[in-house]
Amino acid sequence: MTRLIFLGPPGAGKGTQAKTLAQHLNIPHISTGDILRQAMKEQTPLGIKAQGYMDKGELVPDKLVEDLVSERLQQADTHSGWILDGFPRTVNQAVFLDKLLHTLAQGGEKVVNLEVPDDVVVARLLERGRKDDTEEVIRTRLQVYRTETAPLIDYYRDRQQLLLINGNQSQEEVNNELEKAIAS
């Protein structure tokens, strides 16, 4: 049973690593960003509500993502574990998740923080060229990361759930370090 939360700044390689590891462990990779992008593409009510925030690089309101995570973690495929990628993004969301996991009798989750220096993050984001990766949006997303999401590192460190991984190495090396860290 593996339950993992992936933290790390945008461009740290979270998505790629989370996806690879989830496939390897045969557990669902739950990316709130992917779910929101899909909802936007399909213009569902959720997608329409999220669009303006996402286009600017801002966080969508907690309630929207909390509802979607709550629903997702109650689906049958999560019984064997999961990897959450991009959630929680704020301390409020982390508190919500604690309560949710308690209610669902799911626990023992570890938190992976992929550490990558700022200049590497910016270079990678510019290279990626996603629709929400223009320079101005990137600046906003990094700012939001620093003020809203980075405090989660201390939050989970205090609770002794944190695994620190060097994200500034090849994908394969990151993957190896990750697999070792979660096995120990």
- Does 59 help bind ligand AMP (rule: CB under 6 A)? yes
Residue nearest ligand AMP by beta-carbon distance: 33
Q: How many CA atoms lie less than 13 Å away from 175 in the CB half-sphere?
A: 14
- Does 156 help bind ligand AMP (rule: CB under 6 A)? no
What per-residue string of b and e applies to 94-131 under the rule 16 or more CB within 10 Å gives b? Answer: bebbeebeeeeebeebebbbbebeeeebbebbeeeeee
Q: 129: which 2 tokens?
A: 């060229």
- Does 65 help bind ligand AMP (rule: CB under 6 A)? yes
Contacts of 169 by beta carbon, 8 Å cutoff, 6+ apart? 177
Q: What is the DSSP letter of 149?
A: I
- Does 10 help bind ligand AMP (rule: CB under 6 A)? yes
- Does 72 help bind ligand AMP (rule: CB under 6 A)? no
Range in contact with ligand AMP (rule: CB under 6 A) among 75-83, 86-94, 104-112, 154-162: 86-94
- Does 8 help bind ligand AMP (rule: CB under 6 A)? no
Tell me how many residues contact ligand AMP (CB under 6 A).
Answer: 16
Q: Which is nearer to ligand AMP, 127 or 184 (CB)?
A: 127
- Kindly state the smallest distance separating residue 1's Cβ from ligand AMP, in Å: 23
149: amino acid identity, one letter: T
- Does 21 help bind ligand AMP (rule: CB under 6 A)? no
Could you give the CA distance from residue 135 to residue 148 in angstroms, rounded to a whole number? Answer: 20
Could you give the CA distance from residue 50 to residue 59 in angstroms, rounded to a whole number? Answer: 9
Q: Which is nearer to ligand AMP, 10 or 81 (CB)?
A: 10
Contacts of 128 by beta carbon, 8 Å cutoff, 6+ apart? 11
Among 18, 60, 97, 142, binds ligand AMP (CB under 6 A): 60
Among 7, 86, 152, 174, binds ligand AMP (CB under 6 A): 86
Under the rule (CB under 6 A), what is the footprint of ligand AMP? 10, 32-33, 36, 53-54, 57-60, 65, 86-87, 89, 93, 141
